[in-house]
Amino acid sequence: MNILKINITVMKKTHYFVLFLLALSCQNLHSQGLESALTQGRISGNFQLEAQTYTQDSLINAPEAKERVLSNGFFNLNYNAGTFSAGLRYEAYQNPILGLDPQYKGSGIAYRFADYNGEFIQVTAGDFYEQFGSGMIFRAYEERALGLDNAMDGFRIKLRPTNSIELTALIGKQRFFWGKGDGLVRGGDMNIELNQALSLELPFNIKIGGSVISKYQYDSDPFLRLPQNVFAYSTRASLSGTSFLFDVEYGQKYNDPNASNLNSYNKGYGLMLSGSYFERGFSVAVAAHKLDNMDFRSDRTATGNNLMLSYIPPINKQNTYKLPNIYPYSTKLNGEVGLQTDVNYVFQPKSLFGGKYGTSLNFNYSRIHSIDTLHLNEYKYKSDFLSVGDRLYYEDLSLSVSKKLHSNFKGALTFMHITYDTDILDNEGAAKFGNTNGNIIILEGTYKFNAKNALRMELQNLWAKQDSSYFIKDKQNGDWALALLEYSYSPHWFVTISDDYNYGNEFEAKRLHYYNLSLTYIESASRIQLSWGRQKQGVICVGGVCRQVPASNGLYLSVSTSF
Amino acid sequence: MKKYMMIIATIALALLSMSCDEINGNYVENSPITVDTSKVVQKFLLEDYTGYQCGNCPKAHEEAHKILELYPHQVIVLGVHAGSFAEPYAAHPYDFRTPIGTIYDEFFGNSEAGNPNGMINRMKFNDSYIVRHTKWASAITEMINDEPTLGIKLEPSYSDIDRKITVKVDMNYLKNSTQSDYLCVLISENNIIQYQKDYSNKENPDSLHYNHEHVLRGGITSAWGEQVSAAPISANQKFTKTLTFTIPNNDWKIEDLNIVAYVYSKEKSYQILQAESKKLK
């Protein structure tokens, strides 16, 4: 009965969902299944709201918002009864916080679905997220920090004829703000666990998979003859044992002239290789990839992060510390060659370097280059798949030591070196800033007073220098220092105070402090955060996908809960 | 058996995905669309929201120029300089911005969405007014043979003595319409030589003598215009409005000025029903 009451209260705003349930109940009034669904079902969901006030701060180029307060809100409501589930998401951008595309302005039901998930078959109607393999030719996902949501709206079928085989087929269109993209996406995916499927008794597991995607978009371009159906495929294999993992994936896309590749009719290629070895106290991971013309979207005219089909996991170190993220790397889907090595080693307790509690070491090296291309004409270029371009886009090297020094105190020291092609990454490739070389030192320590009270501290310094032949300072501009103190009274309260200081700015008037004070309260699944301070202009990236963040000065409120 | 049928059906569905069109050579479209220009045709106001500090905007200017060359009788380009990319600063003090352009920009959210972008007859595509320059040509082509609601005829004149512009606007309705139609008349200027950031020139993105074309200079009417008729409009009804405007004492070059007029429908979410343009002299 409670469920019905909840449904009625939500009805005003969630008419799609309720209409769907009503339609279901009309058609199956006497169905045992429905009765049990309504009596045994469970409602779950979550809520998230972030709001920011904007005060003009001309020193950091922070604008004032006409509305004074901007906010983004999300409310997910899911109903689950055994094999059946349905749900929706209400979103309200009133108006979108700065940095998000203002085309999100408005509110409404942005996502709704119904799903039957039996043992053999799963059918989804409506909106869904999905990923084939690593995502090289298809990934529909949501990343709120980036304002990215390329959910599919259509049908998806998954078949599991045996425990070792899963087949997926889908058709639909992708979300484009409050509408749908022009392109129609069709695709299929297969995953097979070979050991089980062939009853092999091997000391390692073998998984293989393959995917196909084709998108259709009407060609009404008056200048070019464009392919209306563009096809892409990928194949992959994974070998895993108790101490190792090896993955390979290769994808290809047929001619796909689009806005991002400047109407190139070349095919696209992608190869990803990764291997890792791990044992107690030691692990090493190596990854490499080559991408050539792999920006694949359901609408050939789409730009920014809109209507993406392809996703390539980043190959550089993903930093959690703030100053290294001043120079984040965004994956160049249309051409890059990358290599990454990551090594972890633990000196055991009571060894020479381990001391009483042991010592952990992490070493990472990433290097990303352009690809070598030779333009044959306006629409075609030649690129040897095994060649590497001369231009270094990005390089990072980091060494980190973390150690528990006392029963109440643990610390970590990190050194990083970054080389960042600012023209490619911040300026569309036009000559302006040159490369930036950065050296970073980070010291982190946590002192636990007792089971409830702890104090965490971060000290970071970035020395950044641009190539001497360029005199225009990049947007990050010189040396930075950061100090952060976080006091936690667990499990409920967290107070953080931090200051990012751009002491090395070329212009004396811009040697500013970006202070921030934050108070967080957590109560089981609910979290409330209130912050006040300055946010520098920059770029945030999640998984190699980035967006611009404008400077801001004001109060920030975030409330989230799940039920 | 049923299981196997389902597997076959799923694989078949996936195989259906394997559609692919390969274009080998002959990439350029060589079957142009023909439009009968002897009758009243639908015209398209292509608003290019831009800024001199926007390094990617020249790509959009170039695209607008290509479209204008392709459909010279049906496309009217208007360069609206607004938002942060258009703000002058010490090194480049020339101010392209106009109060009327800023009103449009803030209302439709163009510069907030990141330049370059534009609007085509202020129609919504995928539920959004904002259309990226990469989509302009195909969007206009899809509508190029649309039947217009009305035709607009402009008769501008200019008096050197008092710098006064007079524009006679004749509106000839071909279809029924409503009292929510409004007429706006604007002024644009070609050949303004000023600085432009241009990322298409990778070696030197600072173009000091860039030719800015179709630049919105101001409004003869207010931003939201004058009501065409206080009563519902029937096909074959004709309306005439005569408007005057005195050019302020500034650097506008009379020989490069254009009059741009359009009728939009408030009822149809500000959609422009017809547009027209004519050189002042």
So what's the pLDDT on residue A11?
38
So what's the pLDDT on residue A546?
83
Residue A10 pLDDT > 90: no
So what's the pLDDT on residue B15?
67
Sheet holding B238-246, edge to edge: B150-159, B164-173, B238-246
Mutate to test the interface with B, among A167, A235, A424, A470 (most CBs of B within 10 A): A167
Question: What digits encode the pLDDT tens for the residues B135-144?
Answer: 999 999 999 9
Enumerate residues 82 to 141 of chain B having a beta carbon within 8 A of any beta carbon in chain A.
Answer: 84, 106, 109, 112-114, 126-128, 130, 132, 134-135, 137-139, 141
So what's the pLDDT on residue A32?
54
User: What contacts 24+ positions apart, CB below 8 Å, involve A358-364?
Assistant: A358/A403, A358/A404, A359/A401, A359/A402, A359/A403, A360/A401, A360/A402, A360/A403, A361/A399, A361/A400, A361/A401, A362/A398, A362/A399, A362/A400, A362/A402, A363/A398, A363/A399, A363/A400, A364/A317, A364/A340, A364/A396, A364/A397, A364/A398
Q: Report H helices in A401-527.
A: 422-426
Question: What digits encode the pLDDT tens for the residues A59-69?
Answer: 888 888 889 99
- Structure tokens belonging to residue B50: 């831009």
Q: Which chain B residues have a beta carbon less than 8 Å from that of A119?
A: none
So what's the pLDDT on residue A195?
94
Which 3 state secondary structure label does DSSP give A305? coil
Furthest CA-CA distance within chain B: 92
Beta-carbon contacts of residue A30 (< 8 Å; ≥ 6 apart): none
Nearest to A303 among B3, B29, B132 (CB): B132
So what's the pLDDT on residue A474?
63
Number of helical (H) and strand (E) elements in chain B, helices listed first: 4, 13
Angle between helix A32-40 and helix A2-10 axes, rounded to 10 deg? 80
Give A482 or B15, the one with higher predicted confidence.
A482
pLDDT confidence tier of residue B9, bands split at 50, 70 and 90: low
* Distance (Å) from the alpha carbon of A167 to chain B's nearest alpha carbon: 7
A67 at the B interface (CB within 8 A)?
Answer: no
Q: Which of A333, A189, A190, A313 is nearest to A256 (CA)?
A: A333
Give A427 or A19, the one with higher predicted confidence.
A427
If you average pLDDT over residues B140-166, what whole number do you get? 95
Give A25 or A452, the one with higher predicted confidence.
A452
Q: Which residues pair with A532 in a beta bridge?
A: A517, A555
Nearest to A224 among B17, B19, B29 (CB): B29
Question: What digits encode the pLDDT tens for the residues B68-79?
Answer: 999 999 999 999
Q: Which of A257, A315, A321 is nearest to A289 (CA)?
A: A315
So what's the pLDDT on residue A37?
59
Mutate to test the interface with A, among B34, B63, B69, B134 (most CBs of A within 10 A): B134
* Distance (Å) from the alpha carbon of B278 to chain A's nearest alpha carbon: 25
- Structure tokens belonging to residue A549: 């963040």
So what's the pLDDT on residue A423?
87
So what's the pLDDT on residue A346?
96
B207 vs A505: CA distance, rounded Å: 27
Q: Are B106 and B134 in contact (CB under 8 A)?
A: no
At residue B256, φ and ψ (nearest 5 deg) are: -105, 5
Q: Under an 8 A CB cutoff, do B126 and A222 touch?
A: no
Angle between helix B57-70 and helix B133-143 axes, rounded to 10 deg? 20
pLDDT confidence tier of residue A17, bands split at 50, 70 and 90: very low
pLDDT confidence tier of residue A556, bands split at 50, 70 and 90: very high
So what's the pLDDT on residue A34?
58
Task: Give the percent of chain A with pLDDT over 90.
Answer: 78
* Distance (Å) from the alpha carbon of A27 to chain B's nearest alpha carbon: 24
- Structure tokens belonging to residue A468: 């001497």
pLDDT confidence tier of residue B14, bands split at 50, 70 and 90: low
Mutate to test the interface with A, among B138, B143, B144 (most CBs of A within 10 A): B138
- State the residue for tokens 């599919």: A152
* Distance (Å) from the alpha carbon of B59 to chain A's nearest alpha carbon: 11
At residue B53, φ and ψ (nearest 5 deg) are: -90, 0
B151 vs B41: CA distance, rounded Å: 8
Read off the DSSP letter of residue A63: P
Angle between helix A2-10 and helix A15-27 axes, rounded to 10 deg? 130
Residue A549 pLDDT > 80: yes
* Distance (Å) from the alpha carbon of B166 to chain A's nearest alpha carbon: 37
- b/e B183-202 (16+ beta carbons within 10 angstroms → b): bbbbbbbbebeebbbbbeee
Mean pLDDT, chain A, integer: 90
Q: Is the dihedral of CA B118, B120, B122, B127 positive or negative?
A: negative
Among chain A residues, the shortest Cα distance to B111 is held by: A102
If you average pLDDT over residues A87-105, what whole number do you get? 94
Per-residue 3-state assignment (H helix, E strand, C coil) for A132-158 = CCCCCCCEECEEHHHCEECCEEEEEEE
B20 vs B10: CA distance, rounded Å: 19
Per-residue 3-state assignment (H helix, E strand, C coil) for A506-536 = CCHHHCCEEEEEEEEEEECCEEEEEEEEEEC
Question: What digits encode the pLDDT tens for the residues A39-65?
Answer: 679 999 999 999 999 999 988 888 888
If you average pLDDT over residues A554-562, what whole number do you get? 96
If you average pLDDT over residues A289-300, what whole number do you get? 97
Mean pLDDT, chain B, integer: 92
Read off the DSSP letter of residue B139: H
Q: Under an 8 A CB cutoff, do A223 and B29 touch?
A: yes
Nearest to A223 among B7, B26, B28 (CB): B28
Residue A186, phi-psi category: left (phi > 0), alpha (psi -120 to 50), beta (remainder)? beta
* Distance (Å) from the alpha carbon of B105 to chain A's nearest alpha carbon: 12
Nearest to B113 among A103, A169, A379 (CB): A103
A342 vs A315: CA distance, rounded Å: 11
If you average pLDDT over residues A400-412, what whole number do you get? 95
Residue B168 pLDDT > 80: yes
